[in-house]
């Protein structure tokens, strides 16, 4: 007998419950509906390795993010929270429940002091010398090591978050807004107590709620933001904010504040929060993960609409990539919709020249964003799906035996070119049983033995 739609909807809503055990219990129930065909989707050939969750900033728990990816028809989903691996095990469990391949990692900022790139603006919109990088494909048995490694970084970040909250309160005081209490309005709204991270978006979220509490939604809010706060709202966003029933209201308002207010309260991170790139790359290798530089390139409007047009690393990209290779990066990660075709084809050529793996993903941190990324289906980007399956195979094989990591110095395929290894691992990744990924060696052994 088919389950009533209201019951299914209730189960899906529980995937975003505040309690992790409740979410995973609901995932089991929803997973059964998927297995029996009572819940269906339209499959695509798309992948996404850069989804944020409530453990940094997002409307989605890891379980709900995995479901949203499945619902969008994605082949794979990857969690990529800022300075946190707190949601990784949940993502892996949810992936098994929904029969979608899942990979785990974290995003972190590092300093480039002591390198030839020191002092330049690379891929960080707010800081010179600082770089966003991703640590992909962490073997499950090393997640605890990653969590401990990140704790001092989280502490340093929260010290700065508290100071920025103080600056924000000085700015908003003349506007008659209630002061933002860091512990009550920021920390308690995050998942920091569970190992998550507090980001600048949390501060802007707290501010957005204070404005809504004071003015309500619609015309009074728009008038307050433009007249009292002195912030010009783009016409497209103004339309959203005039709609009181807009389900993305706080995210749209947050975007306005992130592009205007955050620059006034921003405090530059220190080297306790943004450690040396050498230290982070070494740590990534130590836990069997893949360190990846996050290419930004000269950009116009970002997918989330909250980053201004700005020049980044394109002018010195030819010098940057060999330096990244010397530092020890194994990969470049990028977001196909963010850049022009010309930028990305140039980047791809340089990646091939320097034997750097290409990993794709579009950061999801707002309810307005779609999990779909059709651009990856274009001929110039189809290899990114193959590389994602290689990443999946790397993570599962390194969990089985660490020397099986793609870039491990004792990998039995280490004498093969990076292209050959990626192709072999992609074949393994495509044959992994998503509901039983731990059985990866049963899938991989014959393939690997044939290639040795």
pLDDT for 304: 43
CB 84 within 8 A of CB 196: yes
Q: Residue 85's pLDDT is what?
A: 98
Per residue in 204-216, pLDDT (tens digit) is 999 999 999 999 9
pLDDT above 70 for 406: yes
Distance of CA 400 to the CA centre of its chain: 25
Mean pLDDT, rounded, for 79-107 = 98
Res 310: pLDDT: 83
DSSP for 417-442, please give it: -HHHHHHHHHHHHHHS-TT-GGGHHH
> Is 305's pLDDT higher than 60?
no
Q: pTM of the full predicted structure?
A: 0.94
Beta partners for residue 109, in sequence order: 132
Q: Would you say 308 and 358 are in contact if contact means Cβ atoms under 8 Å apart?
A: no
Residues 52 and 58 sit within 8 Å (Cβ to Cβ) = yes
pLDDT of amino acid 303: 45
The CATH superfamily of 44-372 is Metal-dependent hydrolases (3.20.20.140)
For 361-395, how does the pLDDT look when each residue is reduced to its tens digit (9 = 90+)?
999 999 999 999 899 999 999 999 999 999 999 99
Q: For residue 173, what are the CA distances in angstroms to 89, 223, 228, 233, 385?
A: 42, 18, 12, 21, 49
Name the residue ranges covered by the structural domains of the chain. Answer: 1-40, 44-372
> pLDDT by residue (tens digit) across 145-158?
999 999 999 999 99
CB-CB neighbours of 400 under 10 Å: 19
Q: In what order do the strands lie in the sheet with 47-51?
A: 47-51, 76-82, 101-111, 130-136, 290-294, 331-334, 357-360
Query: Could you tell me if 421 and 451 are in contact, meaning their C-beta atoms sit under 8 angstroms apart?
Result: no
Are 304 and 263 contacting, i.e. CB atoms less than 8 angstroms apart? no
């Amino acid at each position: 007998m088919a389950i009533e739609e209201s019951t299914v909807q209730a189960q899906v809503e529980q995937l975003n419950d505040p309690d992790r055990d409740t979410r995973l219990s609901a995932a089991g129930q929803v997973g059964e509906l998927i297995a029996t065909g009572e819940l269906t989707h339209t499959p695509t050939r798309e992948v996404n390795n850069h989804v944020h969750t409530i453990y940094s900033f997002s409307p989605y728990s890891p379980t709900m993010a995995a479901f949203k990816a499945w619902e969008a028809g994605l082949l794979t989903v990857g969690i990529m929270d800022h300075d946190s691996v707190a949601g990784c095990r949940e993502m892996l469990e949810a992936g098994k429940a929904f029969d979608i391949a899942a990979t785990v990692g974290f995003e972190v900022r590092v300093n480039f002091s002591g390198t030839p790139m020191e002092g330049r603006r690379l891929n960080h919109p707010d800081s010179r010398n600082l770089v966003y990088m991703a640590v992909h494909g962490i073997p499950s048995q090393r997640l605890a090591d990653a969590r401990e490694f990140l704790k001092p970084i989280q502490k340093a970040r929260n010290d700065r978050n508290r100071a920025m909250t103080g600056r924000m309160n000085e700015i908003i005081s003349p506007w008659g807004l209630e002061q933002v209490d860091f512990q009550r309005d920021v920390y308690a709204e995050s998942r920091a107590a569970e190992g998550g991270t507090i980001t600048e978006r949390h501060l802007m979220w707290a501010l957005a709620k204070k404005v809504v509490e004071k003015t309500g939604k619609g015309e009074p809010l728009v008038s307050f933001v433009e007249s009292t706060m002195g912030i010009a709202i783009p016409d497209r966003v103004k339309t959203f904010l005039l709609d009181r029933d807009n389900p993305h209201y706080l995210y749209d308002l947050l975007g306005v504040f992130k592009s205007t207010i955050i620059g006034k309260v921003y405090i530059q991170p220190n080297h306790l929060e943004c450690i040396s790139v050498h230290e982070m790359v070494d740590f990534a290798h130590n836990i069997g993960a893949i360190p990846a530089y996050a290419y930004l390139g000269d950009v116009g409007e970002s997918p989330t609409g909250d980053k201004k047009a700005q020049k980044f690393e394109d002018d010195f990209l030819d010098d940057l990539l060999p330096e990244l290779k010397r530092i020890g990066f194994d990969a470049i990660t990028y977001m196909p919709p963010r850049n022009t075709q010309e930028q990305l084809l140039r980047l791809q050529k340089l990646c091939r020249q320097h034997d750097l793996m290409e990993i794709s993903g579009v950061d999801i941190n707002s309810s307005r964003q779609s999990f779909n990324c059709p651009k990856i289906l274009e001929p110039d980007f189809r290899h990114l799906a193959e590389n994602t399956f290689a990443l999946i195979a790397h993570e599962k094989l390194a969990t089985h035996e660490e020397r099986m990591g793609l870039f491990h110095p004792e990998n039995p395929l280490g004498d093969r070119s990076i292209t050959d290894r990626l192709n072999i691992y992609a074949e393994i990744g495509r044959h992994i049983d998503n509901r039983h990924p731990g059985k990866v060696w049963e899938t991989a052994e014959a393939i690997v033995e044939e290639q040795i």
